[in-house]
C-alpha cells in the first residue's frame, strides 16, 4: 500500500480500493431493504457472508468510520451503515477528524 501523504488522512488509492473490495461490497449491498434486514437480524453473519476479516468486522460493528475508510472502505459505501445505525454526517465527520461533535461544529463548520 502506498504511504498516505496527508497526515491522518487515508488516501483512497488503487491499493486501498483493492484491499476494501469485500467491505465495500458488503456496505454497498445495504442499499437494498432485504440486505439491511439481514444485517439487523444478525450483523456478524451478514458480514461473514461477504468474507470480511475480523478487523473489518470489528470496525463495521463498532461503526468506526475512520477505521473503515483506513481499511479501504469507500466513504460513500461505508455511509450505508448509517441507514442501520443512524448517524448525522457531522457526527461522522467529527469521528473522522478525531474530535468531539460540538468542537467539529464550531471549528470546522463555524456553528456556535
Reported confidence tier of residue 3, pLDDT bands at 50, 70, 90:
low
97: which 3 cell numbers? Answer: 477528524
- List all residues 6 or more positions away from 86 whose beta carbon is below 8 Å from its beta carbon: none
What's the pLDDT score for residue 4? 59
What does the DSSP assignment read for 24-90?
HHHHHGGGSHHHHHHHHH-HHHHHHTTT--HHHHHHHHTT-HHHHHHTT--HHHHGGGGGTS---HH
Domain-located, residue 5: no
Model confidence over 97-111: pLDDT tens digits?
A: 778 888 888 887 787
Owning domain of residue 35: 14-107
Model confidence over 46-92: pLDDT tens digits?
A: 999 999 999 999 999 998 888 898 899 888 888 888 878 777 778 87
Average pLDDT over residues 25-44: 95
Domain-located, residue 95: yes
Domain-located, residue 1: no
Domain-located, residue 6: no
Domain-located, residue 7: no
Domain-located, residue 9: no
Domain-located, residue 8: no
The domain spanning residue 70 has which CATH number? 1.10.700.10
Contact 24, 77 (CB under 8 A): yes
Crossing angle of helices 101-109/89-97, nearest 10°?
A: 90
Contact 44, 57 (CB under 8 A): yes
Structural domains of the chain, count:
1
Domain-located, residue 84: yes
Amino acid at each position: 500500500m502506498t504511504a498516505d501523504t496527508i497526515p491522518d488522512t487515508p488516501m483512497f488509492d488503487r491499493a486501498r480500493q483493492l484491499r476494501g473490495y469485500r467491505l465495500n461490497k458488503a456496505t454497498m449491498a445495504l442499499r437494498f431493504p432485504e440486505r439491511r434486514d439481514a444485517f439487523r437480524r444478525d450483523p456478524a453473519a451478514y458480514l461473514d457472508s461477504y468474507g470480511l476479516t475480523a478487523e473489518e468486522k470489528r470496525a463495521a460493528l463498532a461503526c468506526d468510520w475512520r477505521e473503515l475508510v483506513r481499511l479501504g472502505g469507500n466513504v460513500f459505501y461505508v455511509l450505508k451503515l448509517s441507514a442501520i445505525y443512524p448517524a448525522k454526517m457531522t457526527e461522522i465527520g467529527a469521528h473522522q477528524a478525531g474530535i468531539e461533535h460540538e468542537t467539529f461544529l464550531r471549528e470546522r463548520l463555524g456553528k456556535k
